[in-house]
Amino acid sequence: MIPKTEKDMEIIAKARGLQSICSGEEYERMITPELIEGRLRARQLTGEFNASLCGDVSSKKTDQQRESILKTLFGCTGQSIYIEPPLFVDYGCNISIGENFYANFHLTILDCGLVTIGNNVEIGPNVSIITGEHHTMIADRRANRGYEFTRPVVVEDDCWIGAGVIILAGVTIGSGCSIGAGSVVKANIPPFSIAVGVPARVIRSTQQGSTVE
């Protein structure tokens, strides 16, 4: 992976507050650990986490072990975080998660860029969050083979992300949103919205503080 040449100082400042980042000039150019060790660390931790799927799923000790691994893997987490294995990430350290987070089976987060998830967020099975992008024109891909550029993803407080949703680079999903199963989110979703479809479109808004169906 080859870094982009321009820096985003606001994102760099945020990244410096996360744990276990591989800081340096090249990291700051793309906000991802380029070192092989960064990816290896993530593979080792997710491997350990996913191996717990074969243990006693009703065991409190197993839950505590999983939570401990997640808090080591991610850049920042709240006190309460629960993810059903298996989980897949690129680096893990570029991910920030708030309080009372839950994700079902097969969550994939490709965190070449920053992923910020707020409080009280719930995620269904088989959800993918993707921060990396590639050129869409064939000539550009050939000329820039090996290059990848990233944009951050933000999921704000009190969101529900349905089964099989794909959230693409550069997207912010506002507070209190529900994203319908199978949707592909490629543009920002305003707060307190229900969005569905490919691409996801807002079909209804809810009042702040009301129950999101």
pLDDT band at 38 (very low <50, low <70, confident <90, very high): confident
Starting at the earlier edge strand, list the strands of the sheet with 95-97. 95-97, 115-117, 153-155, 172-173
Give all strands (DSSP E) within the chain, no chain letters: 81-83, 87-89, 95-97, 101-103, 107-110, 115-117, 122-123, 128-130, 132-133, 149-150, 153-155, 160-161, 166-167, 172-173, 178-179, 184-185, 193-196, 201-205
How far CA 158 is from CA of 26, 101, 103, 206, in Å, comes to 35, 10, 13, 13
Show the DSSP H helices in 86-210 as ranges. 138-143
The proportion of the chain whose per-residue pLDDT surpasses 90, expressed as a percent, equals 62
Question: Residue 21: pLDDT above 60?
Answer: no
Residues 104 and 115 sit within 8 Å (Cβ to Cβ): no
Across 6-20, 115-129, 160-174, least confident range: 6-20
Where in the chain are the domains?
9-205
- Which two tokens mark 128? 């993918």
170: left (phi over 0), alpha (psi -120 to 50) or beta: left
pLDDT tens readout for residues 143-158: 766 666 789 999 999 9
Across 48-57, 128-137, 190-199, least confident range: 48-57
Rounded distance between C-alpha atoms, residue 129 and residue 22, angstroms: 21
Q: What is the mean pLDDT of the chain?
A: 84
Rounded distance between C-alpha atoms, residue 184 and residue 83, angstroms: 22
- Which two tokens mark 204? 């209804």
Rounded distance between C-alpha atoms, residue 205 and residue 96, angstroms: 27
Which range, 16-25, 32-41, 68-77, 141-150, is most confident?
Answer: 68-77
pLDDT band at 213 (very low <50, low <70, confident <90, very high): very low
Sign of CA dihedral 203, 209, 210, 211: positive
Residue identified by tokens 């059903």 is 84
The amino acid at 60? K
Looking at CATH, the fold of the domain delimited by 9-205 is given as UDP N-Acetylglucosamine Acyltransferase; domain 1 (2.160.10)
pLDDT tens readout for residues 48-65: 999 987 755 556 778 889
pLDDT band at 69 (very low <50, low <70, confident <90, very high): very high
103 compared with 11, residue with greater pLDDT:
103
Q: Which residues are catalytic?
A: 134
Rounded distance between C-alpha atoms, residue 73 and residue 43, angstroms: 10
